[in-house]
Structure 1
Amino acid sequence: MINFVIITNNKLFIYCITLNKKKMETIINAQVPEFKVQAFQKGEFKTVSNEDIKGKWAIFFFYPADFTFVCPTELVDLAGKYEELKKMGVEVFSVSCDTHFVHKAWYDTSDSIKKINYTMLADPLAVLAKGFGVYKADEGVAYRGTFLVDPEGKIKIAEIQDNSIGRNADELVRKVSAAQFVESHPGEVCPAKWKQGEETLKPSIDLVGKL
């Protein structure tokens, strides 16, 4: 939030970029916030905390609200990749500022949401949304934020977008695969559009200027 006025547009623009860069630098490789929340999964309520993801890869998939429009299309898209992600050793958590009771009501009334087998976290006090920096206070909802957490509890991927723009689960799976690869292959990096089985890069002085 900017609490002052700068007359020169160029200065204002440069300062905004600095703020955004600082925010992203603090979130990548930061530890996942401590939390303990209620959740809904396949007809049952349960409690989930940061202790449950220790030693595991985990996706936190924030969305604005249940009973909306873009959200169910995203959640069902992600549900279609859930088994693949589980085979990759990844826990999947969708998160909104609804209660676990609202999650159940949505599940009970929507044929689309009944396809979801992953855990739906309830964040009515916005503990997670604020902790991950995606809380939209004027509306009391979360932005569409996607976060990948590694087994050490460090945030490796952080993406936040406007609530009018839906996400792509195929691309998320690709990025998870890349994150897992570089974690297990120190010294290698994944180029644009990299997929499992394709060549990676090994940064070195011999490679400078040759790409």
Structure 2
Amino acid sequence: MLTIGQKFPDFKKTAVVSLEMGKEFETITNEDLKGKWSVMFWWPKDFTFVCPTEITGFNDHYESFKNLDANLIGASTDSEFVHLAWRNDHPGLRQLKFPMLADTSKSLAEDLGILEAGEKIAYRATFILDEEGVIRWVSVNDLAIGRNVPEVLRVLEALKTGKLTPCDWEPGQATLA
């Protein structure tokens, strides 16, 4: 699995960005992320149970990511058409403010080293990238365990300080240097 200090892989993928007919899809590449901090989080499968709780959790905190001037992108190995169908079907996903990236070929998940061996689905992985596309934080959860979005925000804000932050540091508290 790629880890801290490594460059996030090059990619070019289709993402669902809207429910408006004719404007549903956009192509996103790693070049689109450069110049801003980015958070990319992966879920195993669309039309499942834990995944929408995480996706809506990230959406509920979208303004916080935006206030930190960070890109937010969700991804799975499902196709853009499955993503679109799920967004249309699930009330909590209709108002998403961030793209749902489709890694149908599984090439990006494979390059990241986050494919589960049996079903070849992505683990619940979260990557925080700096402005140059270097991985600065990675967290991977077991397939059955949802992640904590406020913790992702806390780490992003800590990284953006560029300073040492002590154990249990919270935004607004003093740093060590």
Q: TM-score, normalised to structure 1's length?
A: 0.79
How many angstroms apart in 1 are the aligned matches of 2:117 and 2:77?
11
What is the Cα-based RMSD across aligned positions, in Å? 1.1
The aligned runs of 1:161-200 (5 Å cut-off) are 161-182=141-162, 188-200=163-175
Work out whether residues 37 and 48 of structure 1, in 8 Å CA contact, stay in contact via their aligned partners in 2. Answer: yes
Residue number in structure 2 paired with 1:96: 76
Work out whether residues 59 and 148 of structure 1, in 8 Å CA contact, stay in contact via their aligned partners in 2. Answer: yes
Work out whether residues 3 and 137 of structure 2, in 8 Å CA contact, stay in contact via their aligned partners in 1. Answer: no
Residue number in structure 1 paired with 2:59: 79
Which contiguous aligned blocks of 4+ residues in structure 1 show a shift greater than 4 angstroms?
none
- The gaps in structure 2 that reach 5 residues or longer are none
Residue number in structure 2 paired with 1:135: 115
Q: How many residues align?
A: 173
Residue number in structure 2 paired with 1:17: none
Matched, 1:116 2:92: no
How many angstroms apart in 2 are the aligned matches of 1:131 and 1:180?
26
Matched, 1:150 2:126: no
**Quick check: which one's helix share is greater?**
1
Q: Percent identity?
A: 39
- The gaps in structure 1 that reach 5 residues or longer are 1-22, 183-187, 203-211
Work out whether residues 76 and 115 of structure 1, in 8 Å CA contact, stay in contact via their aligned partners in 2. Answer: no
Report which stretch shifted further, 127-136 or 31-40.
Answer: 127-136
Higher relative contact order (CA 8 A, sep 6+): 2
Q: TM-score, normalised to structure 2's length?
A: 0.94
- 1:163-193 CA deviation, whole Å, 9 max, x = no partner? 10001111111111001012xxxxx301122
